[in-house]
Structure 1
Amino acid sequence: MKRLVVLAALLGAAPVLADEGMWTYNNFPSAKVKEKYGFEPSQAWLDKVRLSSARIAGGCSASFVSPNGLVMTNHHCARGCIEQLSTADKDYIANGFYAQAATDELKCPAMEMNQLSEIIDVTAQLNAATQGLTGKQYNDTLKAEMSKLEKDCATSDQVRCDVVTLYQGGKYNLYKYRRFQDVRLVFAPEHAIAFFGGDPDNFEFPRYDLDVAFLRVYQDGKPAPTEHHFKWSKAGAKEGELTFISGHPGKTSRGLTVAELEYQRDVALPKHQQITAELRGVVTEFQKRGPEQKRISNNLLFGVENSLKSSKGRHEALLDKKFFAQKVAAEQELRQKVEANPELKKKYGAAWDEIAKAQEQLKNVRKELSFIENSQGFSSSLYAHARTLVRATAELPKENGQRLREYTEAGLPALRNQLFSTAPIYPELEILRLEFSLTKLREELGADHPFVKKVLGKESPRTLATRVVNGTQLRDPKVRQQLFEGGKKAVEASQDPMVRLAALVDPDARAIRKNYEENIEAVIRKNSELVAKAKFEVYGTNISPDATFSLRLSYGAVKGYMEDGKKVAPITTMAGAYERNTGEAPFALPGTWLEAQGKLKLTTPMNFVSTNDIIGGNSGSPVINKDAEIVGLVFDGNIQSLGGDFGFDESVNRAVSIHSDALLESLQKIYGARRVIEELRPSARPATVKANPAG
């Protein structure tokens, strides 16, 4: 892997440099954009862009691109839906999908789309509620108050509200969303072009991908009206042009303390890579069993490979001695400023040491926390459903503020959507995943660990996995719904082997979670809040907060970069895809592309890079110009951008996007997706979309 070069001036304390920043919509630096690019986004412009943006609740970004609920995102973001709708006879992953008529649009079994309608600063309320509190009392009060704010905000199942922690607790915002749980597939190309180049090209550039999918949100059985949506640019992205990316970056760690980064570098990331690499081998071997095994595990392998490469990139950034030394220096500088001021020292001086102590405690409980409470030892969709039933039916009778956070009133619509999903579950793959994770559980905790003995007894991981998967009835969503609606008594009375396994695990898992939340998480939360406030007092608030899978806006420009002493041009063309085609996966263009080659304008821009600051979760984000028009679609970052978890270097960090011209050229001349094109670029006679009652 190429060495990551990441400058550390941006390390959470210094003022923002270059195009760094994943900015919240209520603290966007419009003046800085004007200073550098000559355009100052107005509040009206920001509101339009916010309301035209969308989030896929499972972990991706998207955008509204027509008044009739049409949504654009990445193929890999919609991949779960596409795979769940596929069968051995209709493989939409391999062959693509296009709804020729509105009645052909297919409902995704378990997808939720969110539109951010309002941002409310609730920092004062939460600070008042937790004033003077520490430890368990602080953590319990904070979570209860968050749950109350979310419940009061979510007035119906069509509304979702999340309290978002910013600056490690320095600020809190309440995000109010319009929720759509009827989401239908409209168009998806073949996997071969959506992931052209496969894992070898992942996080690389030049690229030649058409990683796109179009969905539609419905409301009351009809396409949802979306007044706010992005229009299509006539010109597309040009080199040097100012670009904005509105999306939902998942998580960055730029504001973490050195002790927290050391934990990631020395413990969490190496262990993640080891286990993920082993799982990749297991799934790769599973795919050799036959075409159906390959089909049902393709999505899993895609996720595993992506996760492995991403974590390697992040780990490499932390292993860079110069980079890490700069992180240390930045923290020392802040601490020295705090120590030099008696008032600041009294309020914040001990925070870093308290976090460091908590990290040491975390090392001691990491294995049990990961494999028992966080279910790394029980990797199975069926087990996840069983655990949800066991926990939900125990939590729901409690007062909302006393529940585990994932079972509060605000989260119930999403929980039901997942639990009652009709997505297919494949026993053979379930056994494979559960056997592997149980094997790792035994390896990590040891064969003599009381919990391992309790779970496995005299059974091997394979025997236990086979017994509970083959014996459970939880593959049927109706059974899951009956147990959920039957409440605690029904679940406790159930003899379903998967439910009984989840019930067996739950007391140990709860005890581990309780210890972690009260003795580790509470300390980290409280003291991270103090570190953030110290930064505010010393440096001000002219920095963007770490990513939290909440809507952010970044700015930058279409621009190439230098790599290994060579200039990387910012834009590729469709001709390059044909030049790269070998006829063998992962560099094999699909038949539709080979047949259409003579029709295409091969000089059409295909993919491009820009200096926008992004991270995982930004996949599916729209790239727009100053007129709030679509000029591209984010689908990746380059290899250097992986270090963006910890810092940003404008000279090499790049977002990788599909050019808007390539999207139209392929939709029209390769796929004949007339309905989609008419919505993206309506003529004088706008396309109308009728409902598909069957979904």
Structure 2
Amino acid sequence: MKRKILLSALFFPAVMAFGQQYGGMWIPTEVNEKEMKELGMKISAKDIFNPEKASIKDAVVQFDGGCTAEIISPNGLLLTNHHCGYDNIQSHSTVENDLLTNGFWAKDINGELPNPGVTVDFITDIKEVTSQILAGTEGLAGSDLSKKINDNIDAYKKSQKTESYQSISVRSMYYGNKYYAYVIETYKDIRLVGAPPSAIGKYGSDTDNWVWPRHTGDFSMFRIYADKNNKPAEYSKDNIPYTPKHFLPISIKDKKEDDFTFVFGFPGRTTEYLPAIAVEKIMNETDPAMIAVRDVALKTLDEKMRVDPATKIKYAAKYARVANYWKKWIGEVEGLKKSNAVEKKRLYEQTLISKNPAIKTTIDGLNAKYNEQAPYNLHKAYYSEIVRNSETFTLAGIYSNYIKAYEDDKMDAKSLESLKARLNEIYKDHDAELDAKVTAKILALYANKTSTRFIPKDFDQLKTENRNIGMMENLSKISMITGRSNDDKNIAKNIDKAFADQKTLVENLKKDPLIQMFGAFKTSYLETTDKQVTTLQADIDALQKTFMAQQMETDKDRKFFPDANSTLRVTYGKVKGSDPRDAVSYGYQTHLAGVLEKYIPGDYEFDLPKKLINLYNTKDYGIYKDKTGDVPVNFTATNHTTGGNSGSPALDAYGNLIGLNFDRQWEGTMSDINYDPKLCRNIMVDTKYILFVIDKYADAKWLLNEMKIVK
């Protein structure tokens, strides 16, 4: 009896306070309706997803293969994040008319801008097809099992009748224990309607990334176009705005703490059901290794960026990319420790074993395989991060792949143009001297931290940073790939000229000292680590499939959801602030006053447009202020989100749009592995701020006239 009380206290300390146990990324046809209604939802599960008639699912799309977007008018008007539309906004920008800096607002429907290649996907139906996909797989394993499953998937797809604009995707769930088929309709004429300037849409970009309090207007607007029959079609001037089956009303009612909310979108990847041993390895080994490499890279970049304004400008975006997951992993490690994730999982495993002793064999097998894989995984973490964070090695890798493609006669004209475009993009902002220092320092870290059995020949001599710096600087001066040498072989000087004689180029590249150095590094990794990681992971995956099935069979009190895999999901929670650390409390809402508090004139992260400042100074807020008299900007809730949920609609108890998801709070980024409602918060743009910017800042009232605004 005492043990049961202890386990309850360990497992569910947040349940009484938050009324929410596990979070969850629920398949829309299998949502946890009971708990959603207990938390305050007023609509039904059928209102969210109904393949037979219009429902909220008809207003939610996957945007351009990665983010989420939602329809907010009867004329196919789409809302997504600014960072989701960023590449498209950039593609329409010129030096004379920089839409990223200035923003863009079509004056009417004729001013909307086409975006070739951009698509949106609707999910029109979801069916469980486990019995069809696993038919005839009894007793099969390994490649035989994979082949049979793939054959069954192909057979299922061929058996279904689809329109030309439809496709079927069959996806594995619960580590291969279940399979679901998704009917997808793809629209291909998507036009840019509006976007605030980056000073609003990307406000606080690097410093505030993963951080709360937040003050970012992270939204942009597009429109879906269709043919005269409202069906998908390639871009044509004759296409007309799409008429949706459903669009989301937009609520500008004030939010209160503990209001119910749910998020509907396409989350990328989570691993909620890993065994304790796997979480322990992530927390204590692989995450710290990746953090350590990026620590060195970021500090080296920062040293020069602080004293050289030109370098600060040149490396701002690169620094942000490196810092993005560095910051996320730090928060993940801290959150796993603070939430006591490993110990909770161990206790849960023991509880399962007490009910089903067969699970002990599975756990013992997982423990053995993870321990066997650990040194290889650690080496993989270091290797991958060094290649990723050394532009010198990135370039060497690109040229190595080019050499192989050329010699295998696979470098056609299209591939060559793509390669040259990528090289131009790298060289455009490349500082070879600075990168030589980055490479030298992270190689020293690698040589000191990696077991000698993994280190390539002569790499054990790279343990001293200063020695490495001299060596890398000398090599980069004679290498043709870094852009530092002054001879005619310097590729960065003229890429087109260098590739004019590919036979000679390949001969010279093979002799390049940095390509040879990278080659030794890569060969050693492939020989000592890559196959070992892959082989052991196959064993782990088979055991994880068994473990997942055993959890679902044994824990009858728990309602399970599958890990995210970029398919359509529902997650839910409550509007909530947080208390992430001792004596630190965060409110759930930020306001326009906080935007001005962060304002730094001329800064690349915290500058503001004059018009927004004037709106604040004159308090010209219209109907968009809340009970405080200020305009709400961002808010947090306990919704369980991840990458891919960017741009997802945040909805109230009645299915009205109240916000636009765009990030997570740093202290809860471990939610991909261990969701804890006490610490995990998603961050959303308030619909009041979105409409305020459209109305008062952009003066795009014609867009507001399309929308159904709930006051």
TM-score bracket relative to the smaller structure: 0.7 to 0.9
Name the amino acid aligned to 2:650: V
Cα distance in 2 for residues equivalent to 1:671 and 1:172: 46
For 2:171, what is the secondary structure of its paired residue? strand
C-alpha distance 59-45 of structure 1, shift in aligned 2 (>3 A): closer
Query: Residue in 2 aligned with 1:246?
Result: 264
Counterpart pick for 1:639 among 658, 666, 669: 666
- Counterpart pick for 2:45 among 42, 64, 68: 42
**Alignment match, 2:290:** 272
1:26 is the counterpart of 2:29:
yes
Q: Distance between the aligned counterparts of 1:75 and 1:670, measured in 2?
A: 16
For the 8 Å contact 1:351–1:530, the answer to whether it is kept is no
The Cα offsets for residues 635-667 of structure 1, whole Å up to 9 and x where unpaired, read as 222233213223233234322212112211121
2:356 is paired with a residue of what secondary structure?
helix
CA contact (8 A) 1:52 1:64 kept: yes
Q: Equivalent of 2:691, from 641, 654, 664?
A: 664
Q: Could you tell me whether the CA contact under 8 Å between 2:388 and 2:394 is conserved in 1?
A: no
TM-score by length of 1: 0.75
Pair 166,98 (structure 1): closer, same or farther in 2 beyond 3 Å: same
Counterpart Cα distance in 2 of 1:139 and 1:682: 50
Separation in 1, partners of 2:528, 2:606: 47
1:93 aligns with 2:108: no
Conserved? CA contact 2:436–2:476, under 8 Å:
yes
Moved more, 660-669 or 351-360: 351-360
Q: Please state if 1:51 is matched with 2:58.
A: yes
Is the 8 Å Cα contact of residues 641 and 653 (structure 1) preserved in structure 2?
A: yes
- Does residue 356 in structure 1 map to residue 370 in structure 2? yes
The AA in structure 2 aligned to 1:536 is M
What are the superposed Cα offsets for residues 573-606 of structure 1, whole Å, 9 maximum, x if unpaired? 3334334435464444322211333222452332
Secondary structure at 1:425 match in 2: helix
Name the amino acid aligned to 1:551. Answer: L
Instruction: Map 1:177-192 onto structure 2 (within 5 A).
Output: 177-192=184-199
Higher mean displacement: 632-641 or 118-127: 118-127
Q: Structure 2: how far apart are the matches of 1:213 and 1:381? A: 34
Cα deviation per residue 1:49-69 (whole Å; 9 max; x = unaligned)? 223112235542222223443
Q: 1:518 to 1:316 in 2, by over 3 A?
A: closer
For residues 130 and 210 of structure 2, what CA distance do their matches in structure 1 show?
Answer: 37
Q: Which one of the candidate residues 564, 577, 582 is aligned to 1:560?
A: 577
Corresponding residue to 1:534 among 550, 554, 566: 550
Q: Check 1:294–1:46 CA distance in 2 against 1; reply closer, same or farther (3 A cut).
A: farther
Single out whichever of 418-427 and 632-641 deviates more from structure 2. Answer: 418-427
> Superposed, which structure 2 residues align to 1:209-228 within 5 Å?
209-218=216-225, 219-221=233-235, 222=239, 225-228=242-245
Percent identical among aligned pairs is 22
Determine the structure 2 residue equivalent to 1:596: 615
Code of the residue aligned with 1:595 in structure 2: it is: N
Tell me, in whole angstroms, the C-alpha distance in 1 between the residues paired with 2:690 and 2:456.
55
| CA distance 1:511–1:567, shift in 2 (3 Å) | closer
Q: Deviations over 1:393-444 (max 9, x none)?
A: 9999xxxxxxxxxxxxxxxxxx99x999999835233676997897689664
Task: Give 1:428's aligned residue.
Answer: 428
Kept after mapping to 1: 8 A contact 2:373/2:533: no
Q: Quickly say closer, same or farther: Cα 1:181–1:393, change in 2 above 3 A.
A: farther
Deviation at 1:100, TM superposition (A): 2.9
Maintained 8 Å contact 1:606/1:662: yes
Partner of 1:521: 537
1:338 aligns with 2:392: no
Give the gaps of 5 or more residues in structure 1: 1-6, 397-414, 480-490, 684-695
Residue 73 of structure 1, CA deviation: 1.3
Residue in 2 that maps onto 1:123: 130
The counterpart of 2:248, out of the listed 231, 252, 255, is: 231
SS of match in other structure, 2:331: helix
**Structure 1 residue 172 and structure 2 residue 172: aligned?**
no
Which string of whole-angstrom CA distances, capped at 9 and with x for unpartnered residues, describes residues 167-195 of structure 1?
23332323343334554432222222223
Partner of 1:410: none
- 1:619-630 matches, cutoff 5 A: 619-630=646-657
Matching residue of 2:330: 312
CA distance in 1, matches of 2:63, 2:399: 21
DSSP-derived class of the 1:531 partner = helix
Query: Are the aligned partners of 1:557 and 1:612 in contact in 2 as well (CA < 8 Å)?
Result: yes
Measured after TM superposition, the shift of residue 331 of structure 1 is: 2.2
Kindly indicate whether residue 192 of structure 2 is the aligned counterpart of residue 207 of structure 1: no
Please state how far the C-alpha of 1:256 moved relative to its aligned partner: 0.8
- Please provide the CA RMSD for this pair: 4.9
Cα deviation digits, residues 466-522 of structure 1 (max 9, x gap) = 45555655999xx9xxxxxxxxxxx99996999998998999998899835861232
Indicate the residue corresponding to 1:9 in structure 2: 11
Contact 1:71 1:215 (8 Å CA) reproduced: yes
- Given candidates 69, 76, 85, the residue that maps to 2:76 is 69
1:143, distance to aligned residue in structure 2 (A)? 5.9
Structure 2 residue aligned with 1:261 = 279
Whether the 8 Å CA contact 1:635–1:658 is kept in 2: the answer is: yes
- Quote the offset at 1:79 in angstroms: 2.5
Aligned residues of 1:8 and 1:647 also touching (Cα < 8 A): no
Shift, 1:621, TM fit: 1.1
CA displacement, residues 26-72 of structure 1 (integer Å, 9 cap, x when unaligned): 21011222233263523243232223112235542222223443321
* Equivalent residues of 1:615, 1:641 under 8 A apart: no
Instruction: Say which SS state the counterpart of residue 201 (structure 1) adopts.
Output: coil
Paired with 2:700 and 2:218, the residues of 1 have a C-alpha distance of 16
Deviates more, 1:168-177 or 1:623-632: 168-177
**More displaced 10-residue stretch of structure 1: 441-450 or 621-630:** 441-450
Find 1:327's aligned residue among 345, 350, 360: 345
The amino acid of 2:563's aligned partner reads D
Q: Classify the secondary structure of the residue corresponding to 1:231.
A: coil
State yes or no: 1:616 paired with 2:643: yes
**Larger RCO: 1 or 2 (CA < 8 Å, sep 6+):** 1
Q: Which residue of 2 aligns with 1:482?
A: none
**How many Å separate the matches in 2 of 1:378 and 1:153?**
49
Please tell me the residue identity of whatever aligns with 1:648.
Y
Q: Deviations over 1:95-116 (max 9, x none)?
A: 3222334454444476443322
Q: In the alignment, which residue of structure 1 is the partner of 2:562?
A: 545
Name the amino acid aligned to 2:542.
Answer: K
Contact 2:40 2:653 in 1 (8 A): no
User: C-alpha displacement at 1:671, in angstroms?
Assistant: 1.2
**1:364-513 residue pairs with structure 2 within 5 A?**
366=380, 370=384, 425=425, 427-429=427-429, 444=446, 449=456, 460=475, 463=479, 464-466=481-483, 467=490, 472=495
The separation in 2 between residues aligned to 1:32 and 1:627, in whole angstroms, is 16
Shift in CA distance, 117/594, structure 1 to aligned 2, threshold 3 Å:
same
> 5+ unaligned residues in a row in structure 2: which ranges?
1-8, 14-18, 226-232, 461-470, 484-489
Match of 2:678 in 1: 651
Distance 1:260 1:138 in 2: 25
Seen in structure 2, the aligned counterparts of structure 1 residues 305 and 180 have a Cα distance that, compared at 3 Å, is: farther
**Correspondent of 2:67 among 60, 63, 67:** 60
1:571-590 correspondence runs (5 A): 571-583=589-601, 585=603, 586-590=605-609
Q: 1:376 to 1:133 in 2, by over 3 A?
A: farther
Q: Distance in 2 between matches of 1:135 and 1:458?
A: 47
The CA deviation string for residues 301-327 of structure 1, in whole angstroms up to 9 with x for no partner, is 333333221111101123348332222
Pair 1:427–1:581, CA change in 2 (3 A): closer
Q: CA deviation at 1:535?
A: 0.4
- Secondary structure of 1:274's match? helix
Q: For residues 371 and 497 of structure 2, what CA distance do their matches in structure 1 show?
A: 42
Give distance in 1, aligned partners of 2:142 and 2:386.
23
Quickly say closer, same or farther: Cα 1:497–1:293, change in 2 above 3 A: farther
Deviation of the 1:145 alpha carbon: 5.7
d(CA) in 2 for partners of 1:362 and 1:422? 31
**Do 2:250 and 2:709's aligned partners in 1 also have CA atoms closer than 8 Å?**
no
1:399 is matched with: none
> What is the alpha-carbon distance in structure 1 between the residues aligned to residue 424 and residue 408 of structure 2?
27
- Counterpart of 2:81, as a letter, is N
